[in-house]
Homo-oligomer: A and B are copies of this chain.
Amino acid sequence: MIAQTPHPPYYAVIFSSVRTDINEGYGSMADCMVELAHGQPGFLGVESARNALGITVSYWDSLDAIRDWKQHAEHLIAQQTGRDRWYEAYKTRICKVERDYEFERQ
């Protein structure tokens, strides 16, 4: 659920998207990408939610790790298929997490 990330600094990729009404192949590809990301060097965690807008935030230990994931062969195919079919629009933001704090009910 809420990703357990180390003390800052680390990096976040905020992926905000609006889907088309084409669902074919989307769910299994999304699941596959999450599974692949978990195996990438430098992967720290991921959080995701979707209503009309979808937001997926993945966390990484370096900009190099983010670049390697962006260029991963299966991920490149997923990105292209996303533009061809699944996404009406998206925006990706590469961020440096400078500070964080949290609350947990006792």
Say yes or no: is A75 at the interface (Cβ < 8 Å to chain B): no
Does A93 lie within 8 Å of B97, measured CB to CB?
yes
Q: Which residues on B sit within 8 Å (CB–CB) of A18?
A: 1-2
Distance of A32 from chain B, by nearest CB (Å): 19
Does B100 lie within 8 Å of A94, measured CB to CB?
yes
Say yes or no: is A88 at the interface (Cβ < 8 Å to chain B): yes
Best-buried of A49, A53, A83 by chain B (most CB within 10 Å): A49
Interface of A is mostly: strand
In this complex, the interface size class of chain A, counting residues with CB under 8 Å from chain B, is 35 or more
CA distance A92 to B3 in the complex (A): 11
CA distance A53 to B56 in the complex (A): 11
Q: Which residues on B sit within 8 Å (CB–CB) of A98?
A: 94-96
CA distance A15 to B34 in the complex (A): 21
Q: Chain A interface (Cβ within 8 Å of chain B)? A: 1-3, 5, 8, 12, 14, 16-18, 20, 47-55, 57, 83, 87-105
